[in-house]
Amino acid sequence: MNGRFITLEGGEGCGKSTQAKLLSSYLQSKGIETVLSKEPGGTPEGLVLRQLLVTGDKDKFDAVTECLLYYADRRNHLTKVVWPAMEQGKWVISDRYADSTEAYQYYGYDKRIDYNTLQNMYKIVAGDFKPDLTLILDMPPEVGMKRSFAKAANMENKELRFENRQMEFHNNLRRGFLEIAKREPNRCVVVNADTDIETLHKQIVAVVAERFGI
Protein backbone atom coordinates (compact mmCIF):
# COMPACT_ATOMS: atom_id res chain seq x y z
CA MET A 1 0.00 0.00 0.00
CA ASN A 2 1.38 3.39 -0.97
CA GLY A 3 -1.03 5.52 1.05
CA ARG A 4 -0.86 6.42 4.71
CA PHE A 5 -3.25 5.85 7.60
CA ILE A 6 -3.46 8.51 10.31
CA THR A 7 -5.78 8.13 13.28
CA LEU A 8 -6.95 10.65 15.85
CA GLU A 9 -7.81 9.38 19.31
CA GLY A 10 -8.86 10.76 22.66
CA GLY A 11 -11.69 11.13 25.14
CA GLU A 12 -15.02 12.83 24.65
CA GLY A 13 -14.97 16.45 23.52
CA CYS A 14 -11.24 16.60 22.72
CA GLY A 15 -11.80 17.98 19.20
CA LYS A 16 -10.92 14.98 17.02
CA SER A 17 -13.56 15.60 14.33
CA THR A 18 -12.58 19.24 13.87
CA GLN A 19 -8.87 18.47 13.81
CA ALA A 20 -9.32 15.58 11.37
CA LYS A 21 -10.98 17.97 8.92
CA LEU A 22 -8.27 20.59 9.38
CA LEU A 23 -5.53 18.00 8.90
CA SER A 24 -7.21 16.77 5.73
CA SER A 25 -7.27 20.32 4.36
CA TYR A 26 -3.62 20.81 5.27
CA LEU A 27 -2.55 17.62 3.50
CA GLN A 28 -4.59 18.53 0.43
CA SER A 29 -2.81 21.89 0.34
CA LYS A 30 0.42 19.87 0.06
CA GLY A 31 -0.94 17.98 -2.94
CA ILE A 32 -1.84 14.82 -1.01
CA GLU A 33 -5.18 13.21 -1.82
CA THR A 34 -7.01 12.37 1.40
CA VAL A 35 -10.01 10.38 2.56
CA LEU A 36 -11.68 11.60 5.75
CA SER A 37 -13.44 8.88 7.72
CA LYS A 38 -14.44 7.78 11.21
CA GLU A 39 -15.21 4.83 13.45
CA PRO A 40 -17.85 3.79 14.02
CA GLY A 41 -19.74 5.00 10.96
CA GLY A 42 -17.23 5.24 8.14
CA THR A 43 -19.51 3.22 5.85
CA PRO A 44 -23.31 3.13 5.33
CA GLU A 45 -23.44 -0.11 7.30
CA GLY A 46 -21.24 1.44 9.96
CA LEU A 47 -23.69 4.29 10.43
CA VAL A 48 -26.30 1.72 11.49
CA LEU A 49 -23.87 0.24 13.99
CA ARG A 50 -22.96 3.73 15.18
CA GLN A 51 -26.54 4.43 16.18
CA LEU A 52 -26.60 1.22 18.20
CA LEU A 53 -23.32 2.01 19.92
CA VAL A 54 -23.39 5.70 20.77
CA THR A 55 -27.05 6.36 21.56
CA GLY A 56 -29.50 4.98 24.10
CA ASP A 57 -29.09 3.36 27.50
CA LYS A 58 -25.48 3.41 28.69
CA ASP A 59 -25.84 -0.12 30.12
CA LYS A 60 -27.49 -1.86 27.17
CA PHE A 61 -24.26 -3.69 26.16
CA ASP A 62 -21.45 -5.23 28.16
CA ALA A 63 -17.79 -4.78 27.21
CA VAL A 64 -17.56 -7.93 25.09
CA THR A 65 -20.71 -7.15 23.09
CA GLU A 66 -19.45 -3.64 22.42
CA CYS A 67 -16.09 -4.95 21.25
CA LEU A 68 -17.72 -7.34 18.82
CA LEU A 69 -19.89 -4.59 17.37
CA TYR A 70 -16.96 -2.20 17.06
CA TYR A 71 -14.85 -4.84 15.34
CA ALA A 72 -17.65 -5.65 12.92
CA ASP A 73 -17.68 -1.97 12.00
CA ARG A 74 -13.87 -1.90 11.85
CA ARG A 75 -13.59 -4.81 9.46
CA ASN A 76 -16.14 -3.24 7.15
CA HIS A 77 -14.35 0.10 7.39
CA LEU A 78 -10.97 -1.41 6.56
CA THR A 79 -12.16 -3.50 3.62
CA LYS A 80 -14.45 -0.89 2.07
CA VAL A 81 -12.69 2.41 2.85
CA VAL A 82 -9.21 2.31 4.36
CA TRP A 83 -7.41 -0.39 2.40
CA PRO A 84 -8.89 0.46 -1.03
CA ALA A 85 -7.98 4.15 -0.57
CA MET A 86 -4.44 3.31 0.53
CA GLU A 87 -4.00 1.00 -2.45
CA GLN A 88 -4.77 4.04 -4.61
CA GLY A 89 -2.07 6.05 -2.82
CA LYS A 90 -4.49 8.14 -0.78
CA TRP A 91 -3.97 9.14 2.84
CA VAL A 92 -6.82 8.10 5.13
CA ILE A 93 -7.53 10.16 8.23
CA SER A 94 -9.82 8.43 10.68
CA ASP A 95 -11.59 9.94 13.67
CA ARG A 96 -11.02 6.96 16.02
CA TYR A 97 -9.71 3.47 15.38
CA ALA A 98 -8.71 0.44 17.48
CA ASP A 99 -7.06 2.41 20.30
CA SER A 100 -10.50 3.74 21.19
CA THR A 101 -11.82 0.20 21.57
CA GLU A 102 -8.97 -0.65 23.91
CA ALA A 103 -9.35 2.59 25.87
CA TYR A 104 -13.13 2.41 26.19
CA GLN A 105 -13.96 -1.28 26.45
CA TYR A 106 -10.81 -2.38 28.31
CA TYR A 107 -9.57 0.55 30.40
CA GLY A 108 -12.88 2.41 30.62
CA TYR A 109 -14.73 -0.63 31.93
CA ASP A 110 -11.86 -1.35 34.33
CA LYS A 111 -10.59 -4.39 32.39
CA ARG A 112 -13.85 -6.33 32.28
CA ILE A 113 -12.75 -7.97 29.03
CA ASP A 114 -9.67 -10.18 28.80
CA TYR A 115 -6.81 -8.29 27.17
CA ASN A 116 -5.70 -11.24 25.05
CA THR A 117 -9.26 -11.66 23.78
CA LEU A 118 -9.24 -8.02 22.72
CA GLN A 119 -5.92 -8.43 20.92
CA ASN A 120 -7.12 -11.60 19.20
CA MET A 121 -10.15 -9.71 17.88
CA TYR A 122 -7.79 -7.19 16.33
CA LYS A 123 -5.66 -9.89 14.71
CA ILE A 124 -8.73 -11.55 13.19
CA VAL A 125 -10.01 -8.25 11.77
CA ALA A 126 -6.81 -6.41 10.78
CA GLY A 127 -3.91 -8.83 10.96
CA ASP A 128 -0.61 -6.97 11.40
CA PHE A 129 -1.95 -3.73 9.93
CA LYS A 130 -1.57 -0.62 12.09
CA PRO A 131 -1.82 3.14 11.56
CA ASP A 132 1.28 4.94 10.32
CA LEU A 133 0.64 7.63 12.94
CA THR A 134 -1.78 7.97 15.83
CA LEU A 135 -2.39 11.39 17.34
CA ILE A 136 -3.76 11.18 20.88
CA LEU A 137 -5.55 14.39 21.81
CA ASP A 138 -5.17 14.70 25.56
CA MET A 139 -7.13 16.92 27.92
CA PRO A 140 -8.68 16.74 31.42
CA PRO A 141 -11.88 14.67 31.13
CA GLU A 142 -14.01 17.29 32.87
CA VAL A 143 -13.06 19.84 30.20
CA GLY A 144 -13.88 17.46 27.37
CA MET A 145 -17.20 16.46 28.93
CA LYS A 146 -18.26 20.07 29.23
CA ARG A 147 -17.49 20.62 25.55
CA SER A 148 -19.27 17.42 24.53
CA PHE A 149 -22.50 18.21 26.38
CA ALA A 150 -22.49 21.76 24.98
CA LYS A 151 -22.16 20.38 21.45
CA ALA A 152 -24.92 17.82 22.02
CA ALA A 153 -27.33 20.55 23.11
CA ASN A 154 -27.52 21.66 19.47
CA MET A 155 -27.83 18.15 18.01
CA GLU A 156 -31.11 16.44 17.20
CA ASN A 157 -29.64 12.97 17.62
CA LYS A 158 -27.73 13.13 20.89
CA GLU A 159 -24.78 10.70 20.90
CA LEU A 160 -24.30 10.72 24.65
CA ARG A 161 -24.24 7.07 25.63
CA PHE A 162 -20.63 7.21 26.84
CA GLU A 163 -20.81 10.77 28.13
CA ASN A 164 -23.51 9.60 30.53
CA ARG A 165 -21.07 7.35 32.36
CA GLN A 166 -19.47 8.32 35.67
CA MET A 167 -16.34 10.49 35.70
CA GLU A 168 -14.33 7.47 36.85
CA PHE A 169 -14.97 5.91 33.44
CA HIS A 170 -13.60 9.00 31.67
CA ASN A 171 -10.57 9.18 33.94
CA ASN A 172 -9.91 5.53 33.07
CA LEU A 173 -10.16 6.44 29.38
CA ARG A 174 -7.53 9.12 29.67
CA ARG A 175 -5.22 6.81 31.57
CA GLY A 176 -5.76 4.12 28.96
CA PHE A 177 -4.89 6.35 26.02
CA LEU A 178 -1.74 7.56 27.77
CA GLU A 179 -0.70 3.99 28.56
CA ILE A 180 -1.19 3.01 24.91
CA ALA A 181 0.96 5.98 23.83
CA LYS A 182 3.68 5.02 26.31
CA ARG A 183 3.64 1.43 25.05
CA GLU A 184 3.85 2.39 21.36
CA PRO A 185 5.90 5.61 21.16
CA ASN A 186 6.93 5.03 17.55
CA ARG A 187 3.31 5.11 16.42
CA CYS A 188 1.59 7.36 18.96
CA VAL A 189 2.15 11.03 19.70
CA VAL A 190 0.32 12.78 22.55
CA VAL A 191 -0.70 16.38 21.88
CA ASN A 192 -2.20 18.86 24.33
CA ALA A 193 -5.84 19.35 23.32
CA ASP A 194 -6.67 21.67 26.22
CA THR A 195 -6.19 24.72 24.04
CA ASP A 196 -7.84 26.58 21.17
CA ILE A 197 -8.54 25.01 17.77
CA GLU A 198 -5.78 26.81 15.86
CA THR A 199 -3.06 26.09 18.43
CA LEU A 200 -4.00 22.42 18.46
CA HIS A 201 -3.98 22.32 14.65
CA LYS A 202 -0.47 23.79 14.61
CA GLN A 203 0.72 21.11 17.04
CA ILE A 204 -0.73 18.39 14.83
CA VAL A 205 0.72 19.85 11.63
CA ALA A 206 4.15 20.03 13.26
CA VAL A 207 3.97 16.34 14.21
CA VAL A 208 2.76 15.26 10.77
CA ALA A 209 5.34 17.41 8.96
CA GLU A 210 8.17 15.99 11.04
CA ARG A 211 6.98 12.39 10.75
CA PHE A 212 6.44 12.38 6.99
CA GLY A 213 8.74 15.15 5.82
CA ILE A 214 6.05 17.34 4.26
Q: What is the pLDDT of residues 25-37, one digit of tens each?
A: 999 999 999 999 9
Pairing of strands 133-138, 188-192: parallel
Give me the residue spans of the domains in the chain.
4-212
- 160 contacts: CB under 8 Å, gap ≥ 6: 54, 55, 148, 149, 152
Q: Summarize pLDDT for 36-74 with one digit per residue, the tens.
A: 999 999 999 999 998 888 777 778 888 889 899 999 999
Nearest Cα to Cα of residue 176 among 124, 98, 120, 116: 98
**Least confident among 18-32, 75-89, 109-123:** 109-123
Nearest Cα to Cα of residue 54 among 92, 17, 23: 17
Q: Is the pLDDT of residue 153 over 60?
A: no
* Whole-angstrom distance, CA of residue 101 vs CA of residue 149: 21
pLDDT of residue 128: 96
pLDDT of residue 54: 78
pLDDT band of 158, cuts 50, 70, 90: low
Average pLDDT value over all residues in the chain: 90
If one compares 127 and 147, the residue with the highest pLDDT of the two is 127
Domain 4-212 adopts which CATH fold?
A: Rossmann fold (3.40.50)
Q: Is the pLDDT of residue 137 over 70?
A: yes
